[in-house]
Structure 1
Amino acid sequence: MLKCPVCQGELNRIEKSYRCKNNHTFDMGKQGYVNLHMSNEKRSKNPGDDKEMIVSRKNFLEKGYYKKISETLNESIKKEIGSKSGINILDIGCGEGYYTNLLRDSLEEGNPGSHIVGIDISKDGIIHAARTYKGIEWIVASGSNLPIASESLDYVICMFSYIDPAEYKRVLKKGGKLITVSTGEYHLVEIKEVVYDKLKMDYYRPTQDITEGYSHKELINVRYETELKDGKDIKSLFDMTPYRWKSPKDGVERLFNLSELKITVDVNIDIFEKN
């Protein structure tokens, strides 16, 4: 299923290394991951989320605030797969691996032989995932240049991450599914109300970009309220969102002075099928 990022040949795992027929070799890190990202010297040598964002997301997600999102996604996949075995799934932008691991757990008993790969451009994220969660193939790579053979995947999952429809179409089998998880109109609206003077209710729908070669099959909205009763959780949530980069200083101070906050979780799960 993997291809060499240098020559595009078939890449096979041999003990703790990955090697192609041209002897391009990639050794696994001690945590149990492999780095297949071909770095561009003109760009960051350590792209993707940094350690601070990874830790913030880990601390927040492990308290279960977003678990319902994972449960809804996994139930949808399980319902369609049924008792099929040997399903190949790729989670793009997997970060520290929280959602990927819960998916593996949900498929472990009823779908033997299923293979799950987690890919992220953040080396820090993949190292944490490989150290924490086993039974998943963890790879550092770009979602726009996947080290994956064409038409080898049954599912591509993209949760709160950049979407490259053409590259995902290349690696999906005909009839394979692309599942995107994106924020809805009211997602974390309470944080916006605290941080910004003027509230904007705009949000992104992937259906506007995922058109050529796909059919949109289903939209599942997950919306509920939950309460953060610890200022540390409020900060962790804020630090794992894009608001971290573009919020006014006084608004951030107001938010961090809160000891509790009720929030709305509003996400859309869109399911597309490759034609």
Structure 2
Amino acid sequence: MLSRNERTVLFSKYEDIFQCPICRNAMTLVNQKSFICSNNHCFDLNKKGYVNLLTHSLKTKYDKAMFEARKAISAKGFFEPLLDRICVMMASEQLLTDSQSPIKILDAGCGEGSHLTYTLQKLIEKADREVFGVGIDIAKEGITIASRGVSDTVWCVGDLAKSPFSDKSFHFILNILSPANYSEFHRMLDDEGMVVKVIPERKYLQELRAILYKQSDRSIYSNEHTIEHFKRNFNLVDFQHVQYRVTMEHEDIEKLVHMTPLSWGAPAELVQQALAKNKLEITFDFSIMLGRK
């Protein structure tokens, strides 16, 4: 885990990417502990290494147990084929080699930070320039876990509808299995920047869905509207499909059930049926959309 001082150095180095989520004015890091704008709106750096930029407190269904389960699933490598493909797509863009200034990547809806941390590690190996990452999520529980990491990454609690970042701050915006705010993405994205949007495909976790939603419409998933909405907001540069199957043992299945919102609306007895499985072949099925302004 980076020390608080090391995190503060990062916040200070990149303070120009921040803007006040209340009045939209630029913010300055004062006394190495607080972001303050010209209207004296103040946001303190947390002792755990992140900054909370929410304008009011929010409760979400995403609790600590869910994020811990997601982190455990990520640590087992179950998302690596997806993330490896994303890294290949990003590395093929000239953005990574065109200049000596740092490449800035925002993970919008970063959860507990595993996806961004892995992606940064891979891109740093491929890029000819510095790569810097920022993760934002509305759930404090996720950011608290993310800030335990050792990577040189800035973590923020914040609302995408009132994004606390300046215009044209980022070269890439990642949006992986998470809600989007495309008007804010447009504003924050560099003119030559790209949005990387990952959505679940029809067979994503189909084996789990079949247990939790037997003979129900929710056992089938469609993302047509999500794809069309993306195309209305960005020029689609690339579209790739990633599908693979993994064998999960009982412990992994438990973590999978706890990490996915699929279990929220399912009858309790069907959730217990899923949790009782000793082994399951699980399908991971995604589409990756790469878009420009």
For normalisation by structure 1, the TM-score amounts to 0.91
Partner of residue 267, structure 1: 286
2:191 is matched with: 174
Deviation at 1:118, TM superposition (A): 0.3
- Candidates 225, 228, 253, aligned match of 1:234: 253
Provide the residue aligned with 2:158 in structure 1.
141
Q: Residue in 1 aligned with 2:235? A: 215
User: Deviation of residue 95 (structure 1)?
Assistant: 0.7
Alignment check: 8 A CA contact 1:191 1:255 kept: yes
Residues 129-154 of structure 1 show CA distances to partners (whole Å, capped at 9, x for unaligned) of 01124301111001121011122221
Aligned partners of 1:213, 1:263: CA distance in 2, in Å? 33
Please state how far the C-alpha of 1:5 moved relative to its aligned partner.
1.8
- Counting aligned pairs with the same residue, the percent is 28
Partner of 1:102: 118
Residues 3 and 11 in structure 1, CA contact (< 8 A), matched pair in contact too: yes
User: Per the alignment, in what secondary structure is the counterpart of residue 55 of structure 2?
Assistant: coil
CA shift for structure 1 position 83: 2.3
- Structure 2 residue 41 is the aligned partner of structure 1 residue 49: no
**What is the 5 A alignment of 1:3-22?**
3-14=19-30, 15-22=32-39
Secondary structure of residue in 2 paired with 1:7: coil
The answer to whether the aligner puts 1:88 opposite 2:104 as a matched pair is yes
Q: Give the TM-score of the pair, scaled to structure 2.
A: 0.86
Q: Structure 2: 5+ residue runs without aligned partners?
A: 1-16
* Corresponding residue of 2:81: 68
- Asked whether the 8 Å contact 2:257–2:275 carries over to 1, the reply is no
Which of residues 186, 211, 214 is equivalent to 1:194? 211
CA separation of 1:207/1:57 partners in 2, compared to 1, >3 Å: closer, same or farther? Answer: same
Deviations 1:200-231 (A, max 9, x none): 322224322124442111111111111002x1
The one-letter code sitting in structure 2 at the alignment partner of 1:121 is I
Moved more, 100-109 or 113-122: 100-109
Matched residues in 2 for 1:13 and 1:59: separation? 34
Matched letter for residue 69 of structure 2: S
Q: Secondary structure of the residue that 1:209 maps to in structure 2?
A: helix
Q: Match for residue 121 of structure 1?
A: 138
Is contact 1:165–1:209 with CA below 8 Å preserved after alignment?
no
AA partner of residue 210 (structure 1) = F
Distance 1:252 1:5 in 2: 39
Deviates more, 1:194-203 or 1:28-37: 194-203
- Is structure 2 residue 92 aligned with structure 1 residue 79? yes
Deviates more, 1:66-75 or 1:261-270: 66-75
Distance in 2, matches of 1:111 and 1:32, equals 28
CA drift at 1:233: 1.0
Check conservation: 1:191, 1:263, Cα contact below 8 A. Answer: yes
